Chain A
Amino acid sequence: MRNNIDIEMDLFYTMLRIRKVEEAIADRYKEQKMRTPVHLSIGQESVAAVVGRQLYHEDYCVSTHRAHAHYLAKGGSLQAMISEIYGKVTGCCRGRGGSMHLIDTAVGFMGSTAIVGNTIPIGVGLGLSLKLAGHGKVSCIFLGDGAVEEGVFYESLNIAVLKKLPVLFVCENNRYSVYSPFSKRQPAERKIYEIAKAMGATIYHGDGYDVLASHDVARCAIASIREGGGPCFLEFETYRWREHCGPNYDNDLGYRTENEFLSWKARDPLEVFRVYLVGKCRVSKQVIKKMEEDVDQEIEVAFELAETAPFPKPIEAVTGEYKSTEANLNCSTYKGELTT
Chain B
Amino acid sequence: MMQNMTYGAAINTAMHMAMELDPNVLCFGLGVDDPKHIFGTTAGLQEKFGEQRVFDMPTSENAITGVGIGASLAGYRPVMTHQRLDFFLLAMDQLVNAAAKWYYMFGGQVSVPIVIRLIIGRGWGQGPTHSQNLQAWFSHIPGLKVVMPASPADAKGLLLESIFDDNPVLFLEHRWLHDSEGLVPSGDYRVPIGKARIVREGEDITLVSMSYMTIEAIRAASYLEKQGISCEIIDLRTVKPIDWNAIFASVHKTKKLIVLDTGVTTGSIAGEIIARICMECFSILTRPPVRIALPDNPEPMSFGLTKHYYPSNESIVRGITSMLSVDHDLSVTVESPVLHDVPGDWFKGPF
Encoded as 1 (CB less than 8 Å from any A CB) or 0, chain B from 150 to 187 comes to 00000000000000011100000000000000000000
Q: Which of B29-37, B102-110, B290-298, B339-347 contacts A (4 or more CB under 8 A)?
A: B102-110
Q: In the complex, are the beta carbons of B109 and A103 less than 8 A apart?
A: yes
Q: In the complex, are the beta carbons of A126 and B166 less than 8 A apart?
A: no
Does B127 sit within 8 A of A, measured CB to CB?
Answer: no
What is the distance, in angstroms, from B249's C-beta to the closest C-beta of chain A? 14
Q: In the complex, are the beta carbons of B105 and A121 less than 8 A apart?
A: no
Question: Range of interface residues on chain A?
Answer: 35 or more
Contact residues, B45-89 vs A (CB, 8 A): 52, 57-58, 60, 62-76
Does A211 sit within 8 A of B, measured CB to CB?
Answer: no
Of listed A92, A132, A151, residue having the most chain B CB within 10 A: A132
Of listed A96, A105, A121, residue having the most chain B CB within 10 A: A121
Does A330 sit within 8 A of B, measured CB to CB?
Answer: yes
What is the distance, in angstroms, from B135's C-beta to the closest C-beta of chain A? 15
Q: With the chains together, A156 CA to B98 CA distance in Å?
A: 15
Chain B residues with Cβ below 8 Å from A60 are 74
Does B202 sit within 8 A of A, measured CB to CB?
Answer: no
Does A27 sit within 8 A of B, measured CB to CB?
Answer: no
Q: Which residue of A lies closest to B240 (CB)?
A: A331
Chain B residues with Cβ below 8 Å from A129 are 70-71, 73-76
Choose among B69, B107, B241, B243 the residue that contacts A121 (Cβ–Cβ < 8 A): B69
Q: In the complex, are the beta carbons of A156 and B66 less than 8 A apart?
A: yes
Q: In the complex, are the beta carbons of B62 and A324 less than 8 A apart?
A: no
Q: In the complex, are the beta carbons of A122 and B107 less than 8 A apart?
A: no
Q: In the complex, are the beta carbons of A118 and B98 less than 8 A apart?
A: yes
Q: In the complex, are the beta carbons of B63 and A124 less than 8 A apart?
A: yes
Q: With the chains together, A209 CA to B147 CA distance in Å?
A: 52
Q: Which residue of B lies closest to A153 (CB)?
A: B63
Contact residues, A114-147 vs B (CB, 8 A): 114-115, 117-130, 132-133, 139
Of listed A60, A118, A127, A133, residue having the most chain B CB within 10 A: A118
Does A227 sit within 8 A of B, measured CB to CB?
Answer: no
Does B38 sit within 8 A of A, measured CB to CB?
Answer: no
Whether A92 touches B76, Cβ cut-off 8 Å, given contacts A121-B69, A158-B60, A159-B58, is: no
Q: In the complex, are the beta carbons of B93 and A118 less than 8 A apart?
A: yes
Q: In the complex, are the beta carbons of B58 and A121 less than 8 A apart?
A: no
Does A301 sit within 8 A of B, measured CB to CB?
Answer: no
Q: In the complex, are the beta carbons of B194 and A327 less than 8 A apart?
A: yes
Q: In the complex, are the beta carbons of B106 and A96 less than 8 A apart?
A: yes
Contact residues, B73-131 vs A (CB, 8 A): 73-76, 93-94, 97-98, 101-111
Q: In the complex, are the beta carbons of B103 and A322 less than 8 A apart?
A: yes
Q: In the complex, are the beta carbons of B94 and A324 less than 8 A apart?
A: no
Chain A residues with Cβ below 8 Å from B244 are 330
Q: Which residue of A lies closest to B99 (CB)?
A: A122
Q: In the complex, are the beta carbons of A103 and B60 less than 8 A apart?
A: no
Chain A residues with Cβ below 8 Å from B104 are 96, 320-321
Q: In the complex, are the beta carbons of A115 and B97 less than 8 A apart?
A: yes
What is the distance, in angstroms, from A127's C-beta to the closest C-beta of chain B? 7
Q: In the complex, are the beta carbons of B57 and A125 less than 8 A apart?
A: no
Q: In the complex, are the beta carbons of A323 and B57 less than 8 A apart?
A: no
Q: In the complex, are the beta carbons of A125 and B97 less than 8 A apart?
A: no
Q: In the complex, are the beta carbons of A93 and B62 less than 8 A apart?
A: no
Question: Range of interface residues on chain B?
Answer: 35 or more
Does A43 sit within 8 A of B, measured CB to CB?
Answer: no
Q: In the complex, are the beta carbons of A152 and B108 less than 8 A apart?
A: no
Contact residues, B223-245 vs A (CB, 8 A): 240-244
Contact residues, A298-340 vs B (CB, 8 A): 320-324, 327, 330-331
Does A97 sit within 8 A of B, measured CB to CB?
Answer: yes
Whether A323 touches B103, Cβ cut-off 8 Å, given contacts A118-B94, A125-B70, is: yes
Does A208 sit within 8 A of B, measured CB to CB?
Answer: no
Chain B residues with Cβ below 8 Å from A152 are 60, 62-63, 66, 93-94
Chain B residues with Cβ below 8 Å from A113 are 97-98, 101
Whether A93 touches B107, Cβ cut-off 8 Å, given contacts A158-B60, A322-B167, is: yes
Q: In the complex, are the beta carbons of B63 and A155 less than 8 A apart?
A: yes
Does A94 sit within 8 A of B, measured CB to CB?
Answer: yes
Does B219 sit within 8 A of A, measured CB to CB?
Answer: no
Q: With the chains together, A130 CA to B109 CA distance in Å?
A: 20
Q: In the complex, are the beta carbons of B70 and A127 less than 8 A apart?
A: yes
Chain B residues with Cβ below 8 Å from A117 are 93
Q: Which residue of B lies closest to A329 (CB)?
A: B241
Does A91 sit within 8 A of B, measured CB to CB?
Answer: yes
Q: In the complex, are the beta carbons of B145 and A327 less than 8 A apart?
A: yes
Chain A residues with Cβ below 8 Å from B142 are 321
Q: In the complex, are the beta carbons of A93 and B63 less than 8 A apart?
A: no
Does B257 sit within 8 A of A, measured CB to CB?
Answer: no
Choose among A121, A162, A321, A330 the residue that contacts B143 (Cβ–Cβ < 8 A): A321
Whether A121 touches B65, Cβ cut-off 8 Å, given contacts A96-B106, A323-B108, A327-B194, is: yes
Contact residues, A133-181 vs B (CB, 8 A): 133, 139, 151-152, 155-156, 158-159, 162
Does B317 sit within 8 A of A, measured CB to CB?
Answer: no
Q: In the complex, are the beta carbons of B64 and A121 less than 8 A apart?
A: yes
Q: In the complex, are the beta carbons of A125 and B68 less than 8 A apart?
A: yes
What is the distance, in angstroms, from A101's C-beta to the closest C-beta of chain B? 5
Given contacts A125-B66, A322-B103, A327-B167, 20 further A-B contacts (CB under 8 A): A60-B74, A97-B105, A113-B98, A118-B66, A118-B98, A119-B66, A120-B66, A121-B69, A122-B67, A125-B70, A129-B70, A129-B71, A155-B58, A155-B60, A159-B64, A322-B143, A322-B167, A323-B167, A327-B194, A330-B194
**Closest A-B pairs by Cβ, 5 of them:** A125-B70, A121-B66, A155-B63, A129-B74, A331-B241
User: Which residues of B line the A interface, CB within 8 A?
Assistant: 52, 57-58, 60, 62-76, 93-94, 97-98, 101-111, 142-143, 145, 165-167, 193-194, 240-244
A-B contact pairs, 5 of them (CB 8 A): A92-B107, A111-B73, A124-B63, A321-B103, A331-B241
